[in-house]
Amino acid sequence: MKVPTRLLYEPHDPYAVHIVFYADTDEPVAWALDRDLLAQGTLRPSGEGDVRHWPTHTGPDAVLNLVLSPPHGAAHLTASLSVVTHWLERTYHLVPSGREGDGIDLNAELSRLLHGTA
């Protein structure tokens, strides 16, 4: 079964990528993943617990396997490895690896958290 999916990346949330699945449910199902961990999963098995991913095959038939295991059920999804890899490359052009914290005002974020406005 094909599940329409949307990959989202926002530079103001530089460590995360968001995957939204439009399955046969009333509301879309969204997952947030660590961007670097997803990138590792395009090269070798990565993740643990609720999210695991790994590449299989080579060339144009290469796929990224993604297993999501929330408390109530599990899903094994596949996507074109080249599509995911190219999409991730674009996120690293927006915010290069190691530069994620450059746009974050840690003092303001800490103040927001400590004063209950989070």
- Whether the CA torsion 118, 8, 101, 54 is positive or negative: it is positive
Tokens of 71: 């408390």
Residue 80 has pLDDT above 60, yes or no: yes
Reported as a single tens digit per residue, the pLDDT across 34-60 is 999 999 999 999 998 899 999 999 898
Torsions phi, psi for 46 (to 5 deg):
-145, 165
Domain spans in the chain, listed from the N-terminal domain onward: 5-114
Reported as a single tens digit per residue, the pLDDT across 5-33 is 999 998 888 889 999 999 888 899 899 99
Q: What is the pTM of this model?
A: 0.79
Residue 118 has pLDDT above 60, yes or no: no
Looking at every residue in the chain, the average pLDDT score rounds to: 87
- What per-residue confidence (pLDDT) applies to 64? 97
> Using 50, 70 and 90 to split pLDDT, how confident is the model at 73?
confident
> Using 50, 70 and 90 to split pLDDT, how confident is the model at 96?
confident
CATH number corresponding to 5-114: 2.30.31.20
- What per-residue confidence (pLDDT) applies to 74? 87
Tokens of 75: 């899903």
